[in-house]
Structure 1
């Protein structure tokens, strides 16, 4: 029995002891408990309680509340379904349209979101929040249409062309590290120290790092192949999500990245946590210092929509400017989608595929230089999740799929893979074994969003012993800045 199951069982026992009049009354009591767990940010518990309340007496409000809890958990497919159910029960339930619009925004279905915001404004023409959301969504739809109308492959310019670091003056008051010709270990140590003390890297050096990183990642393949020598340790980390101080703790526990201590970080470096700028520059710095011993896979949060929604864009604009935010959007499109270690360990952020028959060669040929699509190999690599039952199921996230142990077994056999490592999901212990040891989840953001209470974890292997070994760790203190501090109010998450 999970912790969530225990909590739900206790809640139901208390309700039974207090008594209730009928199913409708019982559903109301369960809903009240669910609302409190939602307020306390225990969204998984709230979802289970809303589900039970719906079973007793379904209402638009219950579906709407569960939809919002699903949105908090990034389960956009389930959120959409619940919003539809809420509207079907009560077409006048305004929050249902809000929920559906938010889910569609997260899935980059902006025209559908605009229709829902328009419906809200029609009913509430004097509601300033509804009007603002409608106008902002309308701007996004118009911008996308304009960009599509004027864009051609040959005239699309890189943000890099608009950056001139030579005109960026360094103020006398600047107290951070100076970057000369190339990044050194001393520079990285000073950078981390300044970041810990909440100091900024000067924009001249920040842009210099980004320009160099951009030129490097453009040369990388979609699937990077790594050979770990026989006796060498190799570390695989999962989501960090802007939890810079926990990233530093990984290095305290496991050692700084070096030629004898290589790392792979498996996506979702940014968003949610409010120190994403410090996190990504630390990672970029180590990649430039150790190009053959520090590796970075793209996650679903290395994308334009997620960054607008969950805080990274707002943080970059707050700490630097819009130009840098736009450059990150372009850079993220060039990150590799996956890694293959010693021909036997396949590492990607999300998981396996909706269709059988995907070969490593098919992955190598994927055009990754774009925003994540809704279907196909790239989408599945970034979004899919394992499930305990055989076969495949639609994803609760609304994109990708859920894949069972038979899917993993066939794919590994077809491609000569021992096991798959993926991230993408919070786990109480920071990791979880799936599918008879042929799939592992690793998640490296402890006490995710300052409220989940989970441990973080990382995996170590050696070149001559590919069996995964797990190291768990607890969250460390950080400055009193809450997660999602820079999130866009359009999405209702800050």
Structure 2
């Protein structure tokens, strides 16, 4: 979203005044945590006066709050290019780099601030905390066994795991997920109890085996009179997940669902969310679908809490197994050859076909070179070949031969990771759990989409947050992140 064109020519007094008016209005929306409206107004301010570093820096913090880290990064960089002494912009860019897992880049920005402002204790504190994480990750990588040579799933010995007599939780029946099991599991989790590790491992092993046989793009058929539901980011908010099922019915063969990535992290009930979702996946494999999101990645899980939560509730070995499973999740789904659903945005070129997505190799982490791409969403997209959004052409699309079918309406794209300015996209950033934030305070409504196979028209159902046990968001995450938001 940051403008890259050459900034030349004077700005009229009329435009300067209009820009300040837009900025002040945006500031009020920011105070109310209405970040989307704030971004729209900061953008108008920038259009009137593209030479103000403040406008870009302000839009950057809004994008940080919305997890638009790529946009936040480019905005902060633009602010710095306009004013090399603007320390707040360095803070914003460092936060974006941190959120993208680029700690060395963040350290450079903090080093600059501490150099020009040696008495800035806040900058020193953030530099030290960022440095701790960078060293911790470097140490973990140094001692880690080469994951290409070790398959965690092969090292799991279920026979050696004993079910203790005192365990009173749900049990798999002949090693299989049943309706009885998943129903009891959801109630068990509501009471903040833990599934036995033997059953947890069995679910992960079975899900991995199933996903390995799936394509990168899954085709879904929905009958004319059948309902289909699409849910966005759950982010470890188990009680919101239960509320969705209360409002819309439990998944079943007659009530199919697609959960479009970001099942974990941030919320502190990610373990409960993912085992519930995986259980439904095993129970209804042809009527319950899951896409990989940017938070089903090892770097995000390390920073935003999921790895810490799994290690606390189970073990680091299980956290490693989750990484293996996530790498096999499908990247996109196509409903009735008409509705394309994927977690990231669209592509950095316009001639991508559905077959290109089908041919993407999974079983990997997002490539390190994503930051070199054109996409302002950058690393928080899953794979460069699948989900890089083209800021130069916001109306870009798949090869028209893929989704434009005679006699059908215009193709629909559903994604969590596009700018609210992209009005052609029906879903944009709206189908998320309620109050996605670092202290349950993002302020967004929760929502999900339902459609029928006949017209594929997306219908939105929104909901308020529901009460949950007194466990703070990001309880298992690296505490340094709270310093930036």
Is the structural similarity TM-score above 0.5?
yes
Give the structure 2 partner of residue 378 of structure 1: 383
Between Structure 1 and Structure 2, the one with more strand by share is 1
Give the structure 1 partner of residue 363 of structure 2: 369
1:235/1:88 CA distance change after superposition, 3 Å: closer
Give the structure 2 partner of residue 424 of structure 1: 416
Asked whether the equivalents of residues 259 and 290 of structure 1 are also in contact (C-alpha less than 8 Å), the reply is yes
Question: Secondary structure of 1:470's match?
Answer: strand
**How many angstroms does 1:86 deviate by?**
5.9
Q: In the alignment, does 2:278 pair up with 1:288? A: no
Asked whether the equivalents of residues 368 and 378 of structure 1 are also in contact (C-alpha less than 8 Å), the reply is no
Asked whether the equivalents of residues 43 and 72 of structure 1 are also in contact (C-alpha less than 8 Å), the reply is yes
- Rounded to whole Å, the distance in 2 between the matches of 1:263 and 1:345 is 14
From 451, 459, 470, give the equivalent of 1:461: 451
1:53/1:172 CA distance change after superposition, 3 Å: farther
Question: Secondary structure of 1:448's match?
Answer: coil
Asked whether the equivalents of residues 117 and 134 of structure 1 are also in contact (C-alpha less than 8 Å), the reply is no
Question: Secondary structure of 1:461's match?
Answer: strand
From 321, 339, 345, give the equivalent of 2:339: 345
- Rounded to whole Å, the distance in 1 between the matches of 2:333 and 2:415 is 13
Q: In the alignment, does 2:272 pair up with 1:278? A: yes
**How many angstroms does 1:470 deviate by?**
3.3
Q: In the alignment, does 2:387 pair up with 1:393? A: no
- Rounded to whole Å, the distance in 1 between the matches of 2:111 and 2:422 is 45
Asked whether the equivalents of residues 222 and 365 of structure 1 are also in contact (C-alpha less than 8 Å), the reply is yes
Give the structure 1 partner of residue 127 of structure 2: 130
Asked whether the equivalents of residues 266 and 473 of structure 2 are also in contact (C-alpha less than 8 Å), the reply is yes
- Rounded to whole Å, the distance in 1 between the matches of 2:448 and 2:271 is 22
- Rounded to whole Å, the distance in 2 between the matches of 1:66 and 1:353 is 23
Q: Give deviations 1:219-243, integer Å, cap 9, x for gaps.
A: 1110111222444322222222222
**How many angstroms does 1:50 deviate by?**
7.5
Give the structure 2 partner of residue 403 of structure 1: 394
Q: In the alignment, does 2:105 pair up with 1:100? A: no
- Rounded to whole Å, the distance in 2 between the matches of 1:243 and 1:305 is 20
Give the structure 2 partner of residue 483 of structure 1: 473
Q: In the alignment, does 2:277 pair up with 1:297? A: no
**How many angstroms does 1:182 deviate by?**
0.6
Give the structure 1 partner of residue 349 of structure 2: 355
1:73/1:342 CA distance change after superposition, 3 Å: closer
- Rounded to whole Å, the distance in 2 between the matches of 1:112 and 1:381 is 25
Unaligned runs of 5+ in 1: 1-22, 385-391, 395-401
1:320/1:64 CA distance change after superposition, 3 Å: farther
Q: In the alignment, does 2:174 pair up with 1:177? A: no
Q: Give deviations 1:309-349, integer Å, cap 9, x for gaps.
A: 33222322232222222222221111001112222222212
Q: Give deviations 1:109-142, integer Å, cap 9, x for gaps.
A: 3442343355567657994553232132134356
Give the structure 2 partner of residue 266 of structure 1: 260
What's the TM-score, normalizing by structure 2? Answer: 0.77
Question: Secondary structure of 1:219's match?
Answer: coil
Q: In the alignment, does 2:230 pair up with 1:236? A: yes
Give the structure 2 partner of residue 448 of structure 1: 436
- Rounded to whole Å, the distance in 2 between the matches of 1:232 and 1:289 is 19
**How many angstroms does 1:493 deviate by?**
5.2
**How many angstroms does 1:88 deviate by?**
5.8
Asked whether the equivalents of residues 345 and 417 of structure 2 are also in contact (C-alpha less than 8 Å), the reply is no
**How many angstroms does 1:355 deviate by?**
0.7
- Rounded to whole Å, the distance in 2 between the matches of 1:87 and 1:146 is 37
What's the TM-score, normalizing by structure 1? Answer: 0.76
Q: Give deviations 1:17-45, integer Å, cap 9, x for gaps.
A: xxxxxx99x98xx88994x9767655456
Give the structure 2 partner of residue 328 of structure 1: 322
Asked whether the equivalents of residues 357 and 385 of structure 2 are also in contact (C-alpha less than 8 Å), the reply is no
**How many angstroms does 1:250 deviate by?**
1.6
Give the structure 2 partner of residue 7 of structure 1: none
Q: Give deviations 1:232-267, integer Å, cap 9, x for gaps.
A: 322222222222112112211221111122111111
Question: Secondary structure of 2:384's match?
Answer: helix
Q: Which has the higher contact order (CA 8 A, sep 6+)?
A: 2
- Rounded to whole Å, the distance in 1 between the matches of 2:455 and 2:45 is 49
Q: In the alignment, does 2:206 pair up with 1:212? A: yes
- Rounded to whole Å, the distance in 2 between the matches of 1:311 and 1:464 is 41
- Rounded to whole Å, the distance in 2 between the matches of 1:462 and 1:67 is 38
Unaligned runs of 5+ in 2: 1-15, 376-381
CA RMSD of aligned residues (A): 4.0
1:378/1:475 CA distance change after superposition, 3 Å: same
From 74, 77, 94, give the equivalent of 2:67: 74
Asked whether the equivalents of residues 354 and 402 of structure 2 are also in contact (C-alpha less than 8 Å), the reply is no
- Rounded to whole Å, the distance in 2 between the matches of 1:39 and 1:487 is 25
Asked whether the equivalents of residues 298 and 382 of structure 1 are also in contact (C-alpha less than 8 Å), the reply is no
Give the structure 2 partner of residue 164 of structure 1: 157
Give the structure 2 partner of residue 109 of structure 1: 102
1:236/1:174 CA distance change after superposition, 3 Å: same
